[in-house]
Amino acid sequence: MVYGEMNRDELTSEKKRLSEQYDAYLGEGLKLDLSRGKPAADQLDLSMDLLNRPLSPAECVVDGFDCRNYGCPWGLPSMRRFFSELLGIPSEQIIVGGNSSLALMYGTISRAMLFGLADSPAPWASVEKRKWLCPAPGYDRHFAITEKMGFELIPVDMTPTGPDMDQVEKLVLDPCVKGIWCVPKYSNPTGITYSDDTCRRLATMKTGAPDFTVMWDNAYAVHDLADGGDDLLNIFDLAVQAGTENRFFCFSSTSKITFPGGGVSILAASPANIELAKKYISVETIGFDKLNQLRHLRFLKDAEGVKVQMNRHKALLARKFRILEDTLERDLGGLGIAEWTHPKGGYFVSLDLPDGCAKRTYELAKAAGVTLTPAGATFPYGRDPRDRNLRLAPTCSSTAELGIAASILTVAVRLAAIEKLL
């Protein structure tokens, strides 16, 4: 039964049937949420040992540094080695930050605005018509940073292999285009991982700006939902080969390994850009929280320890993604009105509807007690030109809530699609 092939009478009776279902939900006074891309409490419980193990004074000394005191501003050597092993980046090129990689991203762009980067002819603030590429659908907080810094946000289509590189390669020839946001693995929200070809093209493409910057936000580097997750090429290896090392700033954190807001973040870049970052960050802070680094080292230990921890997350998360995807398939499969992603990792499912249906679906779901990420949020300036994309976050609800929320969502989708067709 494809909605687009149904006649007016058939659509009207389908609408009546769905409206009855919808009205029943309205009466239930539900309060459900598919908007929060964060771990549920059972996932947070997995990391309680990080807090529960007392430390003796002697145990606070790591690599010769007393973690209770100032010093060692770029992170404990053991912590830098930990991330080096995890992400395949030389530890000398890593700065361990505080509890948020997003803050490191904001800081990187702020410093480029004020002082410039290793290859900058001038600080970015002096480029009046500065522009930034925003693969969309993408992460709203990324877009917000470059919007606040006065960049014109240029949308680039996301494809199953990453940003549309034909578009990117053309746009970057403009010297006013200073950079691009990338979530290369289990992208927020589409869940896709950049293909080898996309990575290579990002490393080798010609750019108009000598200081063109790729913000490589590897937030979901180890966040598989299934065995045999996706593989991502090592962008620094490619960049070194291409002679474009200064182009890449890489970020990651333990936010969704241990505690969001209570984890450890990193910034990695070329030797020249790391030196520059250190020069300015050392004015900003005497150092980040080494005690939290120590707690993380004791709890996670090494890449093997991270694997064990991520398998525990996977066991809790995979069920939720299955419930969401099964419900979408059960209720929307074959209707010709919806396409959604089947991520092998990360925190989101991206749902595409007929043009002009996302806002209406959001409103219908909201009135029936299901909060969704606002329609448009995944696009620059919060404007989805086709009003068709919704970001679904199944992780934070209980499995019981999720089943109901997903069912309400699919009723809302079908009603919005029929309204459009009628």
Ligand X SMILES: Cc1ncc(COP(=O)(O)O)c(C=O)c1O
Which of 30, 38, 37 has the alpha carbon at shortest distance from 377? 37
Instruction: Specify the residue, 94 or 415, whose C-beta has the smaller distance to ligand X.
Output: 94
* Backbone Cα Rg of the chain: 23
**DSSP three-state, residue 95:** strand
Region from 108-116, 224-232, 253-261, 325-333 binding ligand X, contact rule CB under 6 A: 253-261
**DSSP structure string for 246-295:** GGEEEEEESTTTS-TTSS-EEEEE-HHHHHHHHHHHHHH-S---HHHHHH
Residue 37 in the binding site for ligand X (CB under 6 A): yes
Number of residues that bind ligand X (CB under 6 A): 13
Instruction: Specify the residue, 188 or 309, whose C-beta has the smaller distance to ligand X.
Output: 188
Q: Which of 217, 224, 325, 401 binds ligand X (CB under 6 A)?
A: 217
Instruction: Specify the residue, 37 or 135, whose C-beta has the smaller distance to ligand X.
Output: 37
Instruction: Specify the residue, 35 or 100, whose C-beta has the smaller distance to ligand X.
Output: 100
Residue 255 in the binding site for ligand X (CB under 6 A): yes
Residue 260 in the binding site for ligand X (CB under 6 A): yes
Residue 151 in the binding site for ligand X (CB under 6 A): no
Contact between 172 and 131 under an 8 Å Cβ cutoff? The reply is no
Which of 342, 182, 297 has the alpha carbon at shortest distance from 351? 342
Residue 120 in the binding site for ligand X (CB under 6 A): no
Instruction: Specify the residue, 185 or 290, whose C-beta has the smaller distance to ligand X.
Output: 185
The residues in 68-87 that bind ligand X, with binding defined as CB under 6 A, are none
Report the nearest approach of ligand X to the CB of residue 145 (Å).
11
Contact between 399 and 53 under an 8 Å Cβ cutoff? The reply is no
Q: Name the β-bridge partners of 253.
A: 265
**DSSP three-state, residue 178:** strand
What is the spatial distance between Cα 103 and Cα 121, in angstroms, rounded to a whole number? 25
Instruction: Specify the residue, 255 or 389, whose C-beta has the smaller distance to ligand X.
Output: 255
Write out the residues near ligand X by the rule CB under 6 A.
37, 100-102, 139, 183, 188, 217, 219, 253, 255, 260, 265
